[in-house]
Structure formats: C-alpha cells, structure tokens
Amino acid sequence: MRFGFHISIAGGFRKVVERALAKDCNTIQLFSRNPRGWNFSELDKDDVYEFRKQIEEAQISPVVVHMPYLPNLATINKVEYEKSLESLISELKRAQVLEAQYLVMHIGKRLEATEDQALAQVIKGINTAFKKVKNDVILLLENTAGMGSEVGYNFHQIKTIFDGVIEKDRLGVVLDTAHAFEAGYPIHTQDGLDKTLKEFDKLVGLKRLYLLHLNDSKTDLGSRIDRHWHIGEGKITREGFRIIINHPLLKHLPGIMETPRKSDADDLKNMKVIRSLVNNQ
C-alpha cells in the first residue's frame, strides 16, 4: 500500500512535493484552491509545470485533488446547487491540468430535502458535470459518517447514486475508515471488515473502490459523529488498522491520512505507525 497525507498548497504547488517527501509520502491529496471560499484564481502555468515535473521525478502516485468544503450537490436550494455544480465542473478541469488521477467529493447534506431528493440532486449534478467536462479524471464519492443530515453514510445510498449516473466508468469511491466506523460498519475486526467488504462488493462493487482515507475515530462505532483521530489511538485501534491495510482486497489501494495535525511531527508519527503495521511476509 502506498501511503500519504493531504498536503498544503500554501505558497504554490511547487512547494507541495518537498512537503510530501519530508513526510515520507508516495501518494498525496491536495486542494486546487482555497477550500473555504467560492472564488478562485486561474492556475499559474509555470507553477503547475513545476509541480507536475516534481511529481514525476519523485514518483508520487496517485495524485488526488479534494473538492472544497462549501459545495453541496445534495441541496434543493437552487442557488447553492448551481454554485456547487459550477465548483464540481471547475474542479474536474483543474484536476486534469494538475494531472491528478482522482477528484474526491463529499456526497453532501440533504438539509431540508428528503433523502431521495438529495440523492437525485447528486445524480443530476454528476451527470451534468460529466456531460460538460470530458476528461480522464475519476470522481470519487467519499462515504460519510452520517452526521447531521449527511447522505452517503451507507452503501445502499452510494449504490443509488451509481445506478443513476450515466458514465459509471468515470465514478468511483474513496472509503474513509473513520466515517465507515462511525456510520456503523465494524471494520476494526477481521470478521467485521470481511462482512463490510462483502456488502460493498454486492451493492457497489469492489472494482469501484480506488482509494482509502486512513483515519482513526475518536468516537464510537455507529456514533454518527465525525471525529478523525491519530492512527491506532482511537476506537478503530492499532490492530484494526493492521487488519485493514493488510486485507487482500484492500492492500493494493493507496491510503491517504487526514489525521489531526498541529505540526509535521504529528504526520511523521502517524506515518511511522501505519508503516509499522504492514505485514512484510
């Protein structure tokens, strides 16, 4: 398994690879712009060129772009929906320019909508974006913890989205371990993980799983409260992560950590722990 972190783009993309290598990453996730606002500037060609050159030289793969925080395709508010759709369209284009293989999207919050309405909105948005943008970037739906009005916390909901998307080959899933655990999937035990993956395969298909978000959970199994924690220090436990990253159906996937950080020391600690759990035999 290739491991990495979400890396800051502060100061430009040309600084990303240096930061990634300092944390022993061989895969990375990043934002293409400020994740907390709607406005953004065009990508700087020289900055992007240097980034892509450094990525190739460092043999970092895959490169994953994460959508900003504000877009919510699940809403039935017309203004917010249109802004969210335009964000998805622009991020698909920007991910291609950055030569990223994947774009991660939070499925969204239904707010005042019903679950069926919310999922229908997500399907409509993805189909529209795919129709407007033709490229090789695979959009990855991130399972949620089910906190508040979040949709996408169970595999049946994710299946519904896949069933409605026309260009299914352009769509995949990133499985967040903390979110799955918090949503009630007992992935911290061998039997629980086996049953979870069997259900995922039946409803969505393991061929649609492209990436793992490796995060421990500060809250209990089925809590529906989204709180990421350090690898092996939360409720999933160190043994739980050993089971996950060595599972024959998962160990070929890249794993990105979105663990809490006050400094690089936190990332280095989490990388050391996750690598120590890999079975070498």
Catalytic positions, please?
36, 66, 69, 106, 142, 176, 179, 213, 226, 228, 258
**Do 99 and 52 touch, CB atoms closer than 8 A?**
yes
Provide the 3-class DSSP secondary structure of residue 99: coil
| Alpha-carbon gap, residue 220 to 103, rounded angstroms | 29
Give, in order, the Cα–Cα distances in Å from 72 to each of 6, 22, 67, 127, 162: 21, 34, 10, 15, 18
**Do 38 and 62 touch, CB atoms closer than 8 A?**
no
| Alpha-carbon gap, residue 37 to 70, rounded angstroms | 7
Give, in order, the Cα–Cα distances in Å from 105 to each of 31, 72, 112: 11, 9, 21
**Can you tell me which residue has the tokens 């996950």?**
244
Provide the 3-class DSSP secondary structure of residue 182: helix
Q: Which residues, listed in sequence order, are joined to residue 64 by a DSSP beta bridge?
A: 29, 102
At position 131, the amino acid (one-letter code) is K
| Alpha-carbon gap, residue 206 to 115, rounded angstroms | 24
| Alpha-carbon gap, residue 249 to 132, rounded angstroms | 34
**Do 78 and 43 touch, CB atoms closer than 8 A?**
no
Q: Which residues, listed in sequence order, are joined to residue 257 by a DSSP beta bridge?
A: 5
